[in-house]
A = this chain, B = another copy of it.
Amino acid sequence: MVQEIVLADRFEERAKVVKAMAHPSRLMMIDELSRGERCVCDLRELVGADMSTVSKHLSVLKKAGIVEDERRGKQIYYRLRVPCVINFFHCIESVIEAKGK
């Protein structure tokens, strides 16, 4: 059925976005970016990984449409494209809390 293919595609699309967030460093960066734009060097310091690793994480977020970037001088600044992603944390916390019981 065409209907089902469309439905599956829909969840496929959604999964891409969720997958892009499914990494501790990327969540950390999203959290940080919720407080304002940051350059890659800031985020590198935050997660404490190799610059190239951070850059690749950012490209994952960018490809998913979660962040956007802008070059200003030598640095490239990233910011959240859709601020609501931050609301996830509240719910995730309640999942973690509920699990503890």
Interface residues of A (CB under 8 A from B): 4, 7-8, 11-15, 17-19, 21-28, 31, 48, 64-66, 81-82, 84-85, 87-96, 98-99
Q: Which residues of B contact A12 (CB under 8 A)?
A: 24
Pairwise interchain contact A91-B87, C-beta atoms closer than 8 A = yes
Given contacts A65-B98, A82-B95, contact A15 B23 (CB under 8 A): yes
Main DSSP-derived SS at the A contact region: helix
**How many monomers of this protein are in the complex?**
2
Pairwise interchain contact A65-B99, C-beta atoms closer than 8 A = yes
Q: Which residues of B contact A25 (CB under 8 A)?
A: 11
Q: Which residues of B contact A14 (CB under 8 A)?
A: 24, 27, 89, 92-93, 96
Pairwise interchain contact A91-B95, C-beta atoms closer than 8 A = no
Say how far A15's CB is from chain B's closest CB, in angstroms.
Answer: 4
Say how far A4's CB is from chain B's closest CB, in angstroms.
Answer: 8
